[in-house]
């Protein structure tokens, strides 16, 4: 846990990267520019910070940095979110105006990230079955300035894919309940490993959720992610569901330059990516990107697509490209 830096996602619904960097400079922090390697993130100390080398709106501070009382955090201008947790929305990459489902959304960090990517244009349907978590999510999204998001206290498995209100849903982010084995708690020991029975039960739920998500008729792109290290919840779930859907969906190579790939559990699993405290200095995480095959396209079992006609984040663009200067400054925090 001591290896994992403090990651700070700039909330572009309220501000921009340059303004946040200036704000921290005024608070006595030293900005070291964009990181050139993962090792640089680990070497951070004191009141120094970097721009992440992979994600263009992510700042990196030393692990011991506490920003929960910082004005930027309390006002929703920044989101304290682990780097690995930023990958699902970034790789889903819906265009502004898209209709998107966040299937297991609470506490809402990924939902707010989706809203920022959409620029609050389009529609997000966010589901969670727990009323307390939905209330927490509502508070977080309000603070982040998110609009165009319908929250529902509902089990995603009970959502009807044929309901006309979801007829334009082209993107789904599915981050279902999992063992949480990839989560590192700062200053505390690791929890006991889940039993085989527990993993089997979780994997069963995850397969049902993924199958359900793929049944939305207009779906074009889906990201499946967990904060688990276990193959049973990750590669095995993706493989089983892809086999059930035949040639309808395929795996897309997610973030080709990302160093850690999926375990070699099946042909094409290297299209998935993994994250870990030891190798990427993040929480443990797994991400798979699935895309509907066009008629006449190759079946999912063929070689995964690396390049596409319309590049998504992490595909056909240089990962970690510096954010473009905004023509119009958003509100500045004094």
Which positions make up the binding site for S-adenosyl-L-methionine? 104-110, 128, 155, 175
Residues 6+ apart with CB under 8 A from 71: 77, 333
Both structure tokens of 57: 């709106």
**Nearest-angstrom CA–CA distance, 182 and 234:** 12
Catalytic residue among 227, 260, 272, 293: 227
**Nearest-angstrom CA–CA distance, 16 and 332:** 9
Token pair 């095995």: residue: 236
What is residue 318's three-state secondary structure?
Answer: coil
Q: Would you say 137 and 210 are in contact if contact means Cβ atoms under 8 Å apart? A: no
Q: Round the CA-based radius of gyration of the chain to a whole number and report it.
A: 19
Tell me how crowded residue 83 is: count the other CB atoms within 10 A of its CB.
Answer: 24
Token pair 């006609």: residue: 309
**Nearest-angstrom CA–CA distance, 216 and 222:** 11
- Sign of the C-alpha dihedral computed for residues 264, 270, 273 and 278 taken in this order: positive
Annotated catalytic residue 227:
yes
Question: For residue 164, is it left (φ>0), alpha (ψ between -120 and 50) or beta?
Answer: alpha
| Positions marked catalytic | 227
């Amino acid at each position: 846990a001591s290896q994992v830096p403090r990651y700070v996602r700039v909330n572009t619904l309220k501000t921009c990267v340059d303004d946040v960097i200036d704000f921290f400079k005024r608070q006595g922090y030293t900005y070291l520019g964009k990181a050139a390697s993962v090792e640089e993130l680990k070497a951070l100390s004191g009141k120094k910070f970097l721009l992440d080398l992979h994600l263009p709106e992510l700042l990196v501070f030393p692990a011991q940095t506490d920003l929960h009382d910082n004005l930027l955090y309390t006002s929703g201008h920044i989101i304290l979110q682990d780097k690995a947790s930023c990958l699902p929305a970034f790789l889903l990459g819906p265009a502004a105006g898209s209709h998107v489902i966040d299937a297991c959304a609470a506490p809402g960090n990924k939902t707010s990230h989706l809203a920022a990517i959409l620029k609050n244009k389009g529609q997000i349907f966010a589901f969670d079955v727990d009323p307390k978590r939905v209330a927490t999510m509502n508070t977080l999204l309000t603070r982040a300035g998110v609009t165009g998001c319908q929250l529902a206290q509902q089990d995603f498995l009970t959502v009807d894919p044929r309901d006309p209100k979801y007829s334009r849903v082209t993107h789904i982010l599915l981050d279902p309940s999992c063992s949480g084995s990839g989560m590192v708690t700062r200053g505390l020991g690791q929890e006991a490993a889940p039993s085989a029975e527990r993993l089997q039960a979780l994997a069963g739920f995850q397969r049902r959720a993924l199958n359900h998500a793929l049944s939305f008729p207009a779906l074009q792109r889906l990201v499946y992610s967990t904060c688990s290290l276990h193959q049973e919840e990750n590669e095995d779930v993706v493989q089983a569901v892809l086999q059930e859907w035949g040639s309808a969906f395929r795996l897309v190579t997610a973030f080709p330059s990302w160093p850690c790939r999926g375990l070699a559990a099946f042909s094409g699993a290297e299209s998935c990516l993994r994250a870990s405290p030891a190798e990427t200095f993040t929480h443990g995480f797994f991400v798979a990107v699935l895309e509907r095959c066009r008629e006449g396209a190759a079946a999912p079992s063929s070689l995964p697509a690396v390049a596409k006609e319309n590049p998504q984040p992490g595909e056909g663009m240089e990962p970690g490209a510096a954010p473009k200067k905004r023509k119009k400054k958003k509100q500045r925090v004094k």
